[in-house]
Amino acid sequence: QKLLLIDTDCGIDDAQAIMMALAEPTVKVVGITCCFGNTTVDYVCQNVVKVLSVCERSEIQVFRGACCPLVGGKNDFTDHFGTDGLGDVLEDRDSEVWKDKIQKEHAALAMIRLASENQGKISLVAVGPLTNLAMAVRLDPTFPLNLKDLYIMGGNMEGKGNMTPCAEFNFVMDPESAYVVLEEYLCPTHIATWEFTCRNTLPWDFFEDMVNQDTAAAKFMKLITSKCWAFSKTFGENNRDVHFGQGFVPYDSFAVAACIDQRTVTDSIQCPVRVELQGSLGRGMLALDPTNMLNKSHSASVMKSCDQTKFCKLLMASLNQP
Ligand code: BDR
Ligand code: CA
Specify whether the CB–CB gap between 33 and 27 falls below 8 A: no
Q: At what angle do helices 12-23 and 308-318 cross, to 10 degrees?
A: 90
pLDDT computed for residue 142 by the predictor: 97
| CA 98 to chain centroid | 21
Of the ligands numbered here, which is closest to the C-alpha atom of 13? 1
Task: Give 126 Cα–ligand 2 centroid separation in angstroms.
Answer: 8
Q: What is the number of H-type helices and E-type strands within the chain?
A: 12, 11
Tell me the C-alpha distance between 101 and 60, whole Å.
10
Predicted local distance difference test score (pLDDT) of residue 93:
80
Span from the CA of 276 to the centroid of ligand 2 (angstroms): 20
Query: pTM here?
Result: 0.95
The DSSP line for 53-97 is HHTT-TTS-EEE--SS-SSS---S---TT-TTSSTT--TTTT--G
pLDDT of 238 reads: 47
List the Cα angle 317/29/69 in 5-degree steps: 105
Neighbours of ion ligand 2 (CB under 5 A): 9, 14, 127-128, 252
Output the pLDDT for position 79. Answer: 74
Check pocket membership of 243 for ligand 1, CB cut-off 6 A.
no
**How many whole angstroms from its chain centre is CA 149?**
15
DSSP H or E stretch at residue 310: helix 308-318
Ranges of residues in the chain with a pLDDT under 70 are 73-78, 229-245
Is the shortest distance between the CB of 127 and ligand 1 below 6 Å? yes
Return the beta strands (E) in the chain as ranges: 2-8, 27-34, 62-64, 102-103, 122-126, 147-153, 189-192, 265-271, 273-275, 286-288, 300-306
Contacts of 313 (CB under 8 A, 6+ apart): none
DSSP state, 206?
A: H
Any ligand 1 atom below 6 A from CB of 170 = yes
Provide the pLDDT for residue 280. 84
Pocket test for ligand 1, best of 127, 133, 225 (most atoms within 8 A of CB): 127
Query: Active-site positions?
Result: 9
The DSSP secondary-structure symbol of 112 reads H
Of 143, 142, 149, 85, nearest to 110 (Cα)?
143
**ipTM exceeds 0.90:** yes
How much is the pLDDT for 173? 94
Of 157, 129, 127, nearest to 287 by C-alpha is 157
Instruction: Characterise 171 by phi-psi region: left (phi > 0), alpha (psi -120 to 50), beta (else).
Output: alpha
Ligand 2 centroid distance, CA of 174 (Å): 13
Q: Give yes or no for residue 123 CB within 6 A of ligand 1.
A: no
